[in-house]
Amino acid sequence: MRQYLDLMQDIIDNGVDKGDRTGTGTRSVFGRQLRFDLQQGFPLLTTKKVHLKSIIYELLWFLSGSTDNTWLQDRGVSIWNEWALENGDLGPVYGKQWRSWACPDGSTVDQMAQLVEMIRTKPDSRRLIVSGWNPADLPDESLSPQENVRRGKAALPPCHTLFQFYVAEGRLSCQLYQRSADYFLGVPFNIASYSLLTLMLAQQCDLQPGEFVHTFGDVHLYSNHLNDPAIVAEQLSRTPGALPQMKLLRRPASLFEYQYEDFELVGYEPQPAIRAPIAV
């Protein structure tokens, strides 16, 4: 995961200091890419301990089509708490767009089910795409996440906006376009989440995993992470270790039937966790 630290240094060296929606302030660059060969191990950061349980449950939550934060809270995952209404509602976020995108005629599109079917039947297709970006459901940036949810909009617009798959020589690769990336807190989660999704889809479609290509729009370090020597500087002072392996212990009947217990991470020996405040 040397490339993760290299892009962190790139943001520090080449970034521009800007204000942002949360009022925290960021240093950012625009347009970057990381690549991970999924045959070389599972790309979970080793230079800090990453809480994989939250990542797995969040992905299973997206795949279930839920947009209710209480599903996560019931499983001990608190990463979406700051954006939800008291009843757990987050508005039409990822789960809704992935599994039941609303059409003007009242019908819905299950983009994930269609994706599995397309990879199986038309692996050479150049249309193996899922979009979370639905302009009809976008929040008003001048209102709080909760106020947007009350008005039927998403709490946040999707950060991982669009992803595409590619099949060649029996391998399945995934490229994500992430429009906005909290490099210290969000990105380690996003890398692991999409890598895991690619492993699951490969298993479901009888393919081997290929590459995860992570393309960024606005990739930023929040100034409170950057200016705290115990956060970004500490991360950069550490040397990456060997990557762990992710084992899928069972082949469920569909993409939508995986359970937390189906995943086993082997050989993860991270350095200690680094706590950081989240910008809301």
Ligand X SMILES: O=c1ccn([C@H]2C[C@H](O)[C@@H](COP(=O)(O)O)O2)c(=O)[nH]1
Ligand Y SMILES: Nc1nc(=O)c2c([nH]1)NC[C@@H]1CN(c3ccc(C(=O)N[C@@H](CCC(=O)O)C(=O)O)cc3)CN21
Q: Which residues are catalytic?
A: 159
* 156 lines the binding site for ligand Y (CB under 6 A): yes
Strand bridging mode 208-222 / 171-182: parallel
> Please, are residues 192 and 183 in contact by the beta-carbon 8 Å criterion?
no
CB of 218 to ligand X, least distance (A): 7
Name the E strands within the chain. Answer: 16-18, 26-37, 101-102, 108-109, 129-131, 160-168, 171-182, 208-222, 245-248, 263-266
Q: How far apart are CA 199 and CA 16, in angstroms?
A: 36
Number of H helices, E strands in the chain: 9, 10
* 176 lines the binding site for ligand Y (CB under 6 A): no
Q: Answer yes or no: is 221 a known binding residue.
A: yes
Give strand pairing partners of 129: 164
* 58 lines the binding site for ligand X (CB under 6 A): no
| Residue of 80, 165, 183, 258 that binds ligand Y (CB under 6 A) | 80
Name the E strands within 3-145. Answer: 16-18, 26-37, 101-102, 108-109, 129-131
Q: How far apart are CA 161 and CA 159, in angstroms?
A: 5
Interface characters, 3-22, with ligand X (x: CB under 6 A): ------------------x-
Q: Answer yes or no: is 35 a known binding residue.
A: no
CB of 133 to ligand X, least distance (A): 12
Residue nearest to ligand X (CB): 186
| Contact window for ligand Y (CB under 6 A) among 13-21, 34-42, 50-58, 210-218 | 50-58
φ/ψ (deg, to 5) at 210:
-105, -115
At a CB cut-off of 8 Å and minimum separation 6, what does 51 contact?
A: 273
CB of 66 to ligand X, least distance (A): 16
Binding partner of 160, given ligand Y, ligand X, none, CB within 5-8 angstroms per partner class: ligand X
Residues that bind ligand Y (CB under 6 A): 50-51, 54, 78-80, 83, 156, 182, 185-186, 189, 273, 278-279
Q: Which residues are annotated as a binding site for dUMP?
A: 21, 126-127, 179-182, 190, 220-222
Residues that bind ligand X (CB under 6 A): 21, 156-157, 159-160, 180-182, 186-187, 190
